[in-house]
Amino acid sequence: MLALLLPLLAAMIPPNPIHDAATYMTLVDRTSHGVRYMVRAPDSAPLDVVHVFGKPRERGRAHGSLLARRLLEFLYVDMPLFYESEVASLDLSGLPSWLVAAIEKIEPSVEDRAAQIFDLALGWLEGVQRPFNTASASGVYDELDAIAEGMCAQIGTSTGPCANVTAVQRQLHLVNVLPDLIRMQCSMLGAWGDAVAAADGALVQMRSLDFGAGPFANNTLLLVHHPSGGAQPFASLTFPGFAGVVTGLSPSAAVSEKVNDLAGGGKPPGSYEGQSTAYVIRDMVQFATAKEEAATIAANATRTWGVWLGVGDRASQQLEVIEYSRASADTFDATTLPAKTGQPPIRHVAYVDKHPQPSTKDDTLPTTLARLVGTLSAEVIAQQVPRATQSGDVHIGVYDLSPARPTALFALGSTDANGTYTGPGGRYAWAAPFVRFELEGEGGLWREKWPAEAVENVSKTAGAER
């Protein structure tokens, strides 16, 4: 009954507002290899937009320098609180027996028990995955180490965490493998052809991130990489200090993701020994110029745990979905996907909802899409779909990959003082306004110019804002 009512109720609620980012964007700070802006759209959570340029180390140092105080608080205040909230539900299955024994020996009375447990688990996981992660051409470890250096150059190394820069680098290494330890529930869709309103039938794509409460909603930022050597730029809706990608796009392609839980319980067989999933997604966004190349990256990776990956590209203007698991990386299109998801087929629409698959108990997403098919656009999806399905607590990305109007729309969740979405100051991303970014042309994300010179601390006051 609820599944039938949600689309009707959503249709009665005023659509989510959409604001143009350029109208509300101001310069905060600039370095030789980076620029930081702040977008403060009406009734929206403030969004840092950080452009970084050059080689991995140069981009990392700019990232750390421009977000120094925010990064410091995220790593050393917000994340320890998150560990405390998650430690009781931490899934130890798949961890080696000696590690589980070491974790269980930590006394409940120890003040920083949660931090110790996560340090042990993430330390082991990062060590196992490091050989696979460093094999990538993305240079994520150079980038992460430089983020710590850039942060500490701004904070100072005399006291506090930056008195040991190597320890800060280790914290960044650990935080970046967290998505493989605590996996996310999300949803995705792509629509094209006669499913969309545009006459050219170009692809529109959605990715909603459901990651629960914690520090992530209040720490979302848009990080835009401009690698040197003429390589394609790419963007990640992400968190301070993250080199992996969970929500990202480039001029060529966009990637959506959700964990692959199985109906009836459990997950596809997997292993922690492989390339971190967020780094595989990073490789797909950074290097793929078509969905076939992204599928090859997934197929060639040493995969860990099961996720669904939706890859839309500008070349084909279609979305394919990869059932990514330890055993295989099989691809499906709008015609073949319903046999895997248990959901009804919709012509020129590929989608996976937030529930375990095959999803047979909740038809909210297909019902909503069937109501809107033929009228779908980036704006219609943003305003109608997430709030009907109530998917996307942390953030949502919606993309129009048309050559004629390439845009990205983002909505951000926020949590209150108690870390919930429902108290004063809290709101799910699916209930929030969207901010629209142009991708090409004057002021487009891909067209940001390399800073002509280092101009440090354009605004020290604004630069310290969260």
Residues 411 and 437 in one domain: yes
| Angle between helical axes of 2-12 and 364-372 (0-180°, round to 10) | 40
pLDDT of residue 10: 52
Q: Are residues 266 and 173 in the same domain?
A: no
Question: Does 376 share its domain with 259?
Answer: yes
CB contact at 8 A, 398 and 408: yes
CA distances from 169 to 53, 149, 175, 225, 466 (A): 20, 8, 10, 20, 22
In whole angstroms, give the CA distance from residue 464 to residue 393.
26
Regions of the chain where pLDDT drops below 50: 1-3, 453-466
Q: Is position 147 within any domain?
A: yes
**108/191 same-domain check:** no
456, 337: one domain = no
Beta strands in 44-195 (DSSP E): 47-54, 185-191
For residues 215 and 293, membership in a common domain is answered with yes
* Sign of the dihedral through C-alpha 238, 244, 245, 246: negative
Return the pLDDT at 456. 46
Number of domains in the chain: 2
Decide if 65 contacts 149 (C-beta within 8 A). Answer: no
Give pLDDT, residue 91: 84
Do 405 and 344 share a domain, yes or no? yes
Same domain assignment for residues 150 and 257: no
Q: What is the pTM of this model?
A: 0.93
The pLDDT assigned to 225 comes to 98
User: For strand 434-438 and strand 18-20, is the pairing parallel, antiparallel, or unpaired?
Assistant: parallel
Do 251 and 126 share a structural domain? no
Using alpha carbons, list the distances in angstroms from residue 229 to 232, 286, 331: 9, 13, 32
Domain contains 370: yes
Residue 228 lies in a domain: no
Residue 239 resides in a domain: no
The helix or strand, by DSSP H or E, that contains position 7, with its residue range, turns out to be helix 2-12
**pLDDT score at 262:** 87
Structural domain span for residue 107: 36-178+452-463
CATH number of the domain within which 414 lies: 3.60.60
Taking the mean position of all CA atoms in its chain, how far away is CA 319? 18
Asked whether residue 273 is domain-assigned, the answer is yes
Position 28 in a domain: no
Asked if the structure places residue 138 within a domain, the reply is yes
